[in-house]
Structure 1
């Protein structure tokens, strides 16, 4: 006998009525996210593994986060094809399961590794001596391995169910929420617990680290102004602020959206219009969550010293190419002398921060 949820979904024929807009905007978004995410994260891996003898806790967490993002970006072209075809997946159940696995691996591996980055910076400044063992490379490798195993264990059950579904118009959908309804008893409870553990706990941990660290640095700056200018202080603030920003922009909308709908389902059965609205909001918030692959390199800018230097050298090379193409103009008349002076000062500042770190 068909479950009420599944029967309800079969009666809803309006769930993908927004496909004319989605088939243009979502592939366009992914065509930007994919190359930017690949380049930014590949640069991070290049910087980290070119200095493999200087691996530490923060570069290890950053490397694992970058690997997660790269694997996910490689699946985006297939997702773009799916949306471009108007929510039609002609590539079979196997590939649908593969990109579903990559999606959830990126999401929750990313959440956990960013949490580790924030906690690492917090421990480095607040408990630099008493908890120094937690930041040893051997222990960090074990933590990274445990995170991958945990996320795999959480997502592997998805491979045991059918993730594709033939709709009333004979299109085949892949990894859509209505495909899950009716397959699990107590689905709302499972998803609410998943949101709390997979997103809520890391978010509270990161905000707590950021709040305590900011308060401690503020008090230290009042007693010693040099502390405020410390490269190590700026690095810690930059890493945790970057992680908070990515959480707020990328992960919060999706999880809040999912949470509110599951809570509503506990009290009543949403009608087709509500389910359609939820579908539209999911497609928007999933795009935002996928944006984390592009924003994570901003975290590396503060976390990985070599990444910052490499990026700045690339920017200087591009600026130098631009100025050389303009022609020979005197520094006095063009202000280039000021630009060069600024570059020299920037180099001194970076050296000062590097020494402080």
Structure 2
């Protein structure tokens, strides 16, 4: 499920895994320090900007609510990174097991909370662009707030019970974010993580993005603004798939390792390295979200108005033609 789930599979493979651990001690610093610094600055700035938009008109308030919640989820994830870096290089005393479980829970909370908020943003953009006339009934600040509250509650109900079973208290020192119990790798848990934690949200984001792009192209808009919107939607889609696809492939591969599908020490070590690098890269979403989704909200908000005007113009032209034909026939 991440670099925090890598165990030494057997004593015979200890040398290979020790080498991977030494490599990751360096790579984690290379990845996490820039992600932490840049992500913290960008998300705090995003919070400041979008909190100011809450007092603006309805359309801006809707976008601001989603962006604020996305920034908060990213900040939850970011604030755990220093603990992860420390746990990689130091063992914690047995009395810290409770604290470790809380930190692990918050880490996964931030990951899957971000995934579901991004999915909600994609659905909101799809309604705004593809169904502009229904959006007034479907979209409102209250609806956006209720949706975000539901996401926080859903992630809490899903993550907290599972994380509580990941770690068994022991009397000796331990590496936090490592050495999860076998309970965390049971097939029902991994299937749920893969399907509901990634595959379903990914399909929703892809569907909404494709529909928005198709609608913009079919509307006949070829303005620079419309083209910029299409490019930003592509960027947003990549910002979702690039960090999370390798990491969830890594979850599946690590699950196969725990099921005994791989026995060779070299293969296990290579998979261990891939999993840890993939999970390090997945944290880049904290930086990409703050940049990409701000521009998506800005461009889609502007394009929605012009798209509505284009559709209205087309309908008026069609009605005028129909009336003229009826007049000529009479």
Normalising by structure 2, report the TM-score. 0.77
- The answer as to whether partners of 2:123 and 2:205 remain within 8 angstroms in 1 is yes
Change (3 A) 1:101 1:239: farther
2:69 matches 1:70: no
Q: Secondary structure at the match of 1:113?
A: helix
Change (3 A) 1:189 1:266: farther
Aligned residue for 1:211?
210
2:66 matches 1:61: yes
Q: Matches of 1:11 and 1:46 in 2, distance apart?
A: 53
Change (3 A) 1:146 1:11: farther
Pairs within 5 Å for 1:67-216: 67-85=72-90, 88-90=91-93, 92-161=96-165, 163=167, 172-176=174-178, 178-181=179-182, 183=183, 187-216=186-215
Aligned residue for 2:41?
39
- The answer as to whether partners of 2:25 and 2:88 remain within 8 angstroms in 1 is yes
Provide Cα deviations, 1:316-340, integer angstroms capped at 9, x if missing partner: xxxxxxxxxxxxxxxxxxxxxxxxx
Shift, 1:161, TM fit: 3.2
Q: Give the superposed CA RMSD.
A: 3.2
2:235 matches 1:242: yes
Question: RCO (CA 8 Å, sep 6+): is it higher in 1 or 2?
Answer: 2
Q: Secondary structure at the match of 1:76?
A: helix
Shift, 1:133, TM fit: 2.6
Provide Cα deviations, 1:97-155, integer angstroms capped at 9, x if missing partner: 12211211111111111111111111101111124333111111111011001111111
Q: Matches of 1:56 and 1:238 in 2, distance apart?
A: 24
Give the aligned length. 294
Aligned residue for 1:319?
none
Normalising by structure 1, report the TM-score. 0.72
Q: Matches of 1:158 and 1:145 in 2, distance apart?
A: 20
Show structure 2 runs of 5+ residues with no match: 1-6, 308-330
- The answer as to whether partners of 1:254 and 1:289 remain within 8 angstroms in 2 is yes
Show structure 1 runs of 5+ residues with no match: 1-5, 222-226, 309-351
Provide Cα deviations, 1:168-192, integer angstroms capped at 9, x if missing partner: xx8622223x5232x35x7134202
